[in-house]
Amino acid sequence: MMKSQSPLVLVLLLLPTFLPTSSAARDFDFFYFVLQWPGSYCDTRRSCCYPSTGKPAADFGIHGLWPNYNDGSYPSNCDPDSAYDESKIEDLISSMQVHWPTLACPSSDGTHFWTHEWEKHGTCAESVLDQHAYFQSALGLKKQLNLLQVLRDGGIEPDGGFYSLNAIKNAIKKGTGINPGIECNVDESGNSQLYQVYFCVDTSGTELIECPVHPRRRCGSRIEFPAF
């Protein structure tokens, strides 16, 4: 026979159901961490401009670290009072020039790109990451993933060859343990090519997680991985 519970015990047991949990207090559910392949950014009809600091390395570059909701929607431009302030990240700038290069035209030193990413996306994660922590997290994630090496280890080389979407996804899953989202764009000859790779990151900005929802992006059946 079940022992009858005192009303006090029942109230204590049910309490968590009614209290706001820490996740309810958060203003987003996870991050997308997005890497871009410079070869694919540059060989479209729109072309690209190298940063004023010089041609970037033939490596994936950071596009951004984007707060997102589990339903696929996302907040943006959350705090107009929090301007991008380079003096807060002076120690990171030389790393950002290497790992977060801008390829948009006209040529610039990256400040415009980083300002845009902080103001549009970073300000929506200020409850967990201040400006320094935001940019540092992105740099740390890139290093942790080592994506180009992971692809190479899986036989996927940036040499103008063609691969199936599954071959690319499987190589990344094997090398990182995580299922990525893949975005393609189209080169001047109309080939589908590997443009951006999406990973999901927990709200601390440091732990890679399986994506609660994958970004809906399309690729052709043959995907080129162009050289840069």
Strand ranges (E), the chain:
30-36, 61-68, 161-163, 181-186, 192-201, 208-209, 223-225
CB of 50 to ligand 5GP, least distance (A): 10
Alpha carbon distances (Å) from 76 to 69, 184, 220: 11, 23, 30
Residue 215 interacts with ligand 5GP (CB under 6 A): yes or no: yes
User: Which residue among 88, 120, 169, 173 contacts ligand 5GP (CB under 6 A)?
Assistant: 120
Between 36 and 131, name the residue whose CB sits nearer to ligand 5GP.
36
**DSSP string for 147-172:** HHHHHHHTT--SSSEEE-HHHHHHHH
Name the one residue in this structure whose structure tokens are 């079940």: 2
Q: Which is nearer to ligand 5GP, 68 or 171 (CB)?
A: 68
CB of 28 to ligand 5GP, least distance (A): 8
Closest distance of CB 109 from ligand 5GP, Å: 11
Among 30, 66, 84, 225, binds ligand 5GP (CB under 6 A): 66
Q: Which of 99, 121, 183, 224 is catalytic?
A: 121
Check if the beta carbon of residue 68 is closer than 8 Å to that of residue 28.
yes
By CB under 6 A, is residue 69 in contact with ligand 5GP? no
121: annotated active-site residue: yes
Q: Is 68 in the site for ligand 5GP (CB under 6 A)?
A: yes
d(CA 79, CA 83): 8
The rounded distance, in Å, linking the Cα atoms of 141 and 197 is 13
Q: Verify whether residue 126 is a known catalytic residue.
A: no
Virtual torsion, Cα 81, 82, 85, 89, nearest 10 deg: 170
- The stretch near ligand 5GP (CB under 6 A) out of 7-15, 16-24, 59-67, 83-91 is 59-67
Taking alpha carbons only, the member of 145, 115, 150, 120 closest to residue 225 is 150
Count of residues engaged in binding ligand 5GP, rule: CB under 6 A: 16
Please, which of residues 82-111 interact with ligand 5GP by CB under 6 A?
102-104
* CB contact at 8 A, 128 and 204: yes
Q: Which parts of 4-43 interact with ligand 5GP (CB under 6 A)?
A: 32, 36, 41
Nearer to ligand 5GP, 67 or 175 (CB): 67
Contacts to ligand 5GP by CB under 6 A: 32, 36, 41, 63-64, 66, 68, 74, 102-104, 113, 116-117, 120, 215
Q: Which residues are catalytic?
A: 63, 117, 121
